[in-house]
């Protein structure tokens, strides 16, 4: 789509920026990357009342143009760098009307860059309700910019905002806020002259940020460095002076334009909620109860839709076997691709429910209370209150969680968080645990309300958190810190979750899972099917010949004969050979060569395990009778002993292996991307492999 | 008097900071000299604390709060 005007949304965190972005662009949005840095770039399109189309860029939320994290540093680059391909024609700064003072700091900085600006005064209804009176006309006049009161949540004032965007000036007309030149007079003038910059505030920002921005040439950088020394420029002192000057301007503006109720306000609702949710005792009980509820819900709510999807796939496979002529192609499609896919599609309901919970916890503001409560505890083990979000997000997927560690300013805390996040039970492990627990743990209730299977799953989740904490502590002792950490964080007001955002996030995540995992799984399924259906040399022919001999055809019925042939064929196929090669290594863990095949394939991604199991056991089973994977695995017998393959010991040993092993190519890639050094993913892979082997070994030998 | 010495529910007015790096970050968040701060609550394990400043809640560690000197 071609856009006529490019608009950037800027604002503090928790001002409803994402909600406004969703309202403006609808489903017409995509998530990409800013070039050169790993920061999510959300863009979308919006039809303006005059028929033109605006491209909207959602910039990361920030309190000022001075970045405290990688995400925030992109804001200055996009807004100020003249050569940036995303440089907007217009910036919409979103201000929380109920908290104008702090919000205006960012506005005055953006305005001083002299880009055309519009103010969207969000949550105007909440400000009204709490008795805050804003003289909007005077406010707009004093700043010299259009000010549009809106409520993004209840979709009010959006049309007026769109109109304002379409009428926006091409040149910046806003009033000066502070005397920028006074902060570092000679330095600013000299930078402006040497680098040919018109805007004094841009020059000042370059003095602060020239080491981190990507768009300066080495000569320009060296020049600024030299000038700073010449004029003895102290970045922190200058920044402090600027902030004080800006707040003086803001206080004066607010004094004239905003009237707050004089009477002492009632205790706010948020405060009342906080008294309970961050209570010494109840706080932790509630947090634990929420986690328990989440995992119970994932199990029980998803069971019906999961059965439905599983039955649907069995039906499709049955039908295809009837309709299509028997042959290698049909077999590839039905036993390879569809069998592998069905094993994954079944888990869409669980993943959707998990992401719904996580987005509700973030949206309501509860997640930052968890950060607040856990900081001291987390610091003891070398983490940081802010590590809680990646760790809890790790329940969903380690990949976005590792990306979200960018909010942790301290290098050591961030590295440790990255190293331990993949230990947390992610949604890709969920299918494996569900399957194995359903196989060996009886489905009944204990103490009336706790389902035994649910408890076993909760146990696996708790265990993963404990192991993450222990490993973090070990890393804390090994790693050397580089700088001091700090923890200054806004506690946003509690809000009802925006159901639209929750649904967006569920849809988005389930879609990503299906497409990302689906691609790998189809590829792996096809390779597996080939490996399992062909054998080196003429082994298959010899097996066929062997079973044509009368001692077999006379003693076995047709069904038994087919089964015996299929089983022997699988064992002598390429896949069987591969499985047998690693069998000696995994035998002490209780795994046979079939599980070995699944272990090898799941090093691409864990969720492949279920698909692999489905493929291996369909190839092995009779083609006419389609069964779910669980049934197939349940019926699997050890050919030597006649005992079931999946005993309690084997199932738990397998779960331990999956709990620790780094079986996810995407995580390895993202850790490299975030740490910019191959050491980190290599160390992580190695320590996790060692732990996986040890834990499986212990589990198998205890339960055997 | 340092901010870290206040108990939950107590108020004070910011006078100055003892740490330049921290002061820049705190001022950005609206915690400036002359501003009234109120300790809203203390985390269940005794650290960090939540303060109300400039009309919103901010959480910071005790060690960070000890760099804020009150009038």
pLDDT digits (tens, 9 = 90+) for A304-355: 888 898 889 889 988 988 888 888 888 888 877 887 777 667 777 877 887 7
pLDDT digits (tens, 9 = 90+) for A590-615: 998 888 888 887 776 787 787 777 77
Share of chain A above pLDDT 70, in %: 93
Chain B residues closer than 8 Å to A493 by CB: 56-57
Put simply, the chain A residues between 383 and 412 with a CB less than 8 A from any chain B CB are 385
- Residue among A63, A101, A376 minimizing CB distance to B55: A101
Residues B32-60: what's their mean pLDDT? 91
Q: Is the dihedral of CA A308, A309, A314, A317 positive or negative?
A: positive
Question: Chain B contact for A278, CB < 8 A?
Answer: yes
Pick the residue of A273, A491, A493, A494 with the most B CBs within 10 A to test the interface with B by mutation. A491
Flag whether residue B22 sits within 8 Å of chain A, measured between CB atoms: yes
Q: Nearest residue of A to residue B21 by CA position?
A: A236
B8 in contact with A, Cβ within 8 Å: no
Dihedral in degrees, nearest 10, Cα atoms A479, A482, A486, A492? -70
Quote the pTM value: 0.79
| Per-residue pLDDT, B36 | 92
Chain A residues with CB-CB distance to B60 below 8 A: 486-489
Q: How far is B51 from chain A (nearest CA, A)?
A: 9
Task: Give the DSSP H/E element, type plus range, for residue A91.
Answer: strand A90-96
Contact A615, A333 (CB under 8 A): no
Q: Do B58 and A373 touch (CB under 8 A)?
A: no
* ipTM score above 0.90: yes
Whether residue B50 lies within 8 A of chain A, CB to CB, comes out as: yes
Q: Which of A341 and B1 is assigned the larger pLDDT?
A: B1
* Chain B: residue whose CA lies nearest to A247: B30
The DSSP secondary-structure symbol of A178 reads S
- In A426-502, the DSSP E strands lie at 445-446, 450-451, 489-491
CB contact under 8 A, A488 and B64: yes
Among chain B residues, CA nearest to A488 = B60
With CB atoms and an 8 Å threshold, state whether A270 touches B57: yes
**A494 and chain B in contact, CB less than 8 A:** no
**A69 inside 8 A of chain B by CB:** no
Quote the radius of gyration of chain B (alpha carbons, Å). 11
A275 touches chain B (CB under 8 A): yes
Q: Mean pLDDT score of chain A, rounded to an integer?
A: 84
Which pLDDT value is given to residue A80?
86
Strand, helix or coil at A210? coil
**C-alpha angle A581-A586-A589 in degrees, rounded to nearest 5:** 165
Question: Is 60 exceeded by the pLDDT of residue A264?
Answer: no
Residues 6+ apart with CB under 8 A from A379: A385
Q: Are B26 and B56 in contact (CB under 8 A)?
A: no
| pLDDT exceeds cutoff 90 at A160 | yes
CB A528 within 8 A of CB A597: yes
Instruction: Please indicate if any CB of chain A lies within 8 Å of the CB of B67.
Output: no
pLDDT in tens, A414-455: 899 999 999 999 878 888 898 899 888 888 777 777 788 888
Greater confidence (A628 vs B61) lies with: B61
Q: Is the pLDDT of residue A263 over 60?
A: no
The pLDDT value recorded for residue A606 is 82
Residue of B20, B57, B64 with shortest CB distance to A236: B20
The reply to whether residue B28 touches residue A243, judged by beta carbons under 8 angstroms, is yes
B26 vs A337, which has greater pLDDT?
B26
Residues 6 or more apart from A199 whose CB is under 8 A from it? A112, A113, A114, A192
Residue A376, chain B, CB below 8 Å: the answer is yes
Residue A490's closest chain B neighbor by CA?
A: B58
DSSP letter string over A332-362? IIIIIIIHHHHHHHTTHHHHHHHHHHHHHHH
Considering only the beta carbons, identify the residue of B28, B54, B59 that sits closest to A64.
B28
Rounded CA separation A443/A303 (Å): 13
Provide the pLDDT confidence category of residue A484 given band limits of 50, 70 and 90: low
Q: What is the pLDDT of residues A350-404, one digit of tens each?
A: 778 877 887 888 888 898 898 899 889 888 888 888 888 788 878 877 877 787 7
* A243 touches B at CB < 8 Å: yes
Shortest CA distance from B62: residue in chain A: A487
CB contact under 8 A, B44 and A244: no
Q: Which of B61, B62, B63, B65 to mutate to test the interface with A (most CBs of A within 10 A)?
A: B61
Give the other-Cβ count within 10 Å of A259's Cβ.
13
- Count interface pairs A-B at CB distance under 8 A: 106
User: CB atoms < 10 A from the CB of A565, how many?
Assistant: 17
Which residues does A587 contact at the CB level (< 8 Å), separation at least 6? Answer: none
Rounded Cα distance, A683 and A687, in Å:
6
């Amino acid at each position: 789509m071609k856009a006529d005007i490019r608009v950037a949304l800027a604002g503090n965190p928790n001002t409803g920026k994402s909600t406004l972005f969703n309202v403006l662009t609808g489903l017409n949005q995509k998530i990409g990357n800013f070039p050169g840095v790993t920061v999510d770039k959300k863009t979308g399109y919006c039809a303006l009342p005059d028929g033109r189309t605006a491209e909207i860029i959602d910039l990361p939320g920030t309190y000022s143009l001075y970045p405290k994290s990688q995400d925030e540093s992109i804001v200055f680059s996009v807004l100020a760098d003249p050569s940036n391909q995303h440089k907007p024609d217009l910036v919409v700064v979103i201000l929380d009307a109920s908290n104008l003072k702090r919000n205006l700091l960012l506005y005055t900085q953006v305005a001083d860059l002299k880009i055309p600006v519009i103010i969207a005064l969000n949550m105007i209804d909440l400000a009204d309700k709490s008795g805050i009176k804003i003289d909007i006309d005077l406010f707009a006049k004093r700043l010299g910019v259009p000010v549009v009161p809106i409520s993004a949540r209840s979709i009010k004032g959006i049309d007026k905002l769109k109109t304002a965007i379409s009428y926006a000036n091409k040149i910046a007309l806003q009033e000066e806020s502070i005397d920028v030149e006074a902060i570092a007079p000679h330095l600013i003038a000299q930078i402006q002259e040497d680098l040919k910059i018109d805007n004094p505030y841009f020059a000042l920002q370059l003095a602060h940020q020239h080491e981190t921005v990507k768009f300066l040439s080495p000569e320009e950088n060296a020049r600024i460095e030299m000038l700073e020394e010449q004029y003895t420029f102290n970045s922190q002192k200058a920044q402090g002076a600027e902030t004080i000057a800006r707040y003086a301007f803001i206080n004066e503006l607010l004094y004239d334009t905003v009237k707050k109720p004089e009477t002492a306000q009632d205790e706010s609702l948020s405060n009342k909620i906080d008294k309970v949710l961050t209570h010494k005792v109840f706080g932790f009980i509630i947090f634990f109860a929420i986690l328990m509820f989440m995992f119970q819900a994932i199990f029980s709510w998803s069971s019906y839709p999961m059965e439905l999807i599983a039955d649907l796939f069995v039906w499709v496979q049955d039908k295809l076997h009837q309709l299509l002529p028997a042959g290698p192609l049909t077999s590839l499609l039905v036993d390879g691709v569809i069998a592998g896919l069905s094993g994954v599609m079944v888990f869409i309901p669980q993943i959707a429910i998990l992401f719904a919970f996580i987005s509700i916890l973030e949206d309501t503001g509860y997640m930052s209370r968890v950060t607040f409560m856990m900081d001291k505890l987390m610091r003891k083990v070398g983490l940081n209150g802010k590590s809680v979000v990646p760790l809890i997000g790790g329940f969903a997927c380690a990949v976005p969680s590792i990306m979200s560690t960018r909010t942790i300013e301290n290098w050591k805390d961030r590295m440790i968080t990255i190293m331990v996040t993949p230990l947390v039970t992610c949604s890709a492990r969920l299918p494996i645990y569900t399957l194995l627990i359903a196989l060996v743990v009886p489905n009944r209730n204990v103490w009336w309300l706790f389902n035994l299977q649910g408890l076993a799953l909760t146990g696996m989740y708790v265990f993963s958190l404990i192991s993450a904490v222990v490993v973090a502590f070990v890393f804390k002792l090994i790693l050397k810190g580089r700088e001091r950490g700090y923890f200054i964080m806004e506690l946003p007001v509690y809000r009802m979750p925006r159901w639209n955002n929750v649904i967006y996030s569920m849809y988005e995540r389930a879609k990503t899972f299906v497409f990302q995992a689906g691609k790998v799984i189809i590829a792996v399924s096809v390779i597996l099917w080939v490996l399992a259906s062909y054998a080196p040399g003429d082994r298959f022919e010899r097996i066929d010949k062997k079973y044509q001999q009368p001692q077999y055809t006379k003693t076995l019925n047709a069904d038994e004969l087919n089964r015996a042939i299929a089983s022997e064929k699988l064992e002598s196929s390429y896949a069987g050979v591969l499985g047998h090669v690693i069998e000696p290594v995994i035998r002490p863990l209780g795994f046979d060569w079939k599980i070995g095949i699944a272990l090898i394939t799941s090093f691409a991604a864990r969720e492949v395990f279920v698909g692999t199991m489905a493929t291996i056991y369909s190839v092995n089973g009779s083609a006419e009778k389609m069964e779910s994977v669980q049934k197939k695995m349940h019926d699997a017998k050890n050919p030597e002993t006649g005992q079931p393959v999946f005993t309690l010991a084997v199932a738990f040993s397998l779960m331990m292996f999956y709990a620790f092993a780094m079986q996810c190519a995407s995580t390895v890639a993202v850790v490299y991307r975030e740490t910019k050094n191959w050491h980190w993913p290599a160390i992580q892979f190695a320590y996790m492999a060692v732990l996986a082997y040890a834990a499986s070994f212990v589990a198998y030998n205890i339960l055997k | 008097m340092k901010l870290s010495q206040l108990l939950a529910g107590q108020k004070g007015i910011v006078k100055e900071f003892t740490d330049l790096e921290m002061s820049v970050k705190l001022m950005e968040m609206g915690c400036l000299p002359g501003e009234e701060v109120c300790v809203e609550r203390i985390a269940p394990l005794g650290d960090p604390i939540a303060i109300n400043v400039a009309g919103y809640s901010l959480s910071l560690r005790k060690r960070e709060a000890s760099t804020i000197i009150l009038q």
